[in-house]
Amino acid sequence: MSGRFFTLCLALALVLWTALPGCAGRVEPGAPVSPGAREEAHEAVRAVLDAYSLGTMDAFAALVAPDFAPLRPAFLDRVDRARNAEQAVQYETFVDRVLPAGGGAVAVAFTWTRKSQTPGGQALARGRTEFVLAPAQGRWLLTRMSGDNPF
């Protein structure tokens, strides 16, 4: 019985190990997009980051899809708290890759550097993030985010 139990546990662990990464919202790689679509995706990333650093919270929230995963209200609350703790936020970005994500959406992987002024002095942060952006009413909306938090 214990050998059979071990085999079942091992099989279950293997199934979970291969299936759960797909539950985390990762986008399956597809064919690269055209250079024009790559530039448009980079502009969409810049629009989201600029709305955070230069705009109002309402302007930022307007670029976050109503069905943002996992929870839009919690995400916007965390971003708003971070915005209130920083001033003079500036970003430098480099788009690493842009891939189709289905339904007209694109997955944009990028590296970033954020410079900001906090009550404790100047802060510098770097990271790698993936935005999944979907077209809606003539603009791109952020539907998912993974990797390092740029906000």
Count of domains observed in the chain:
1
Question: Which CATH number do you get for residue 95?
Answer: 3.10.450.50
Domain for residue 19, yes or no? no
Domain for residue 10, yes or no? no
Domain for residue 6, yes or no? no
Domain for residue 74, yes or no? yes
Q: Which domain holds residue 104?
A: 30-147
What is the reported pTM?
Answer: 0.75
Q: Per-block average pLDDT, block size 10, for the chain (151 residues)? A: 48 39 43 78 95 93 95 95 87 94 93 92 95 94 97 92
Nearest residue to 97 (alpha-carbon basis) of 122, 148, 68, 131: 131
Domain for residue 121, yes or no? yes
Domain for residue 18, yes or no? no
Domain for residue 21, yes or no? no
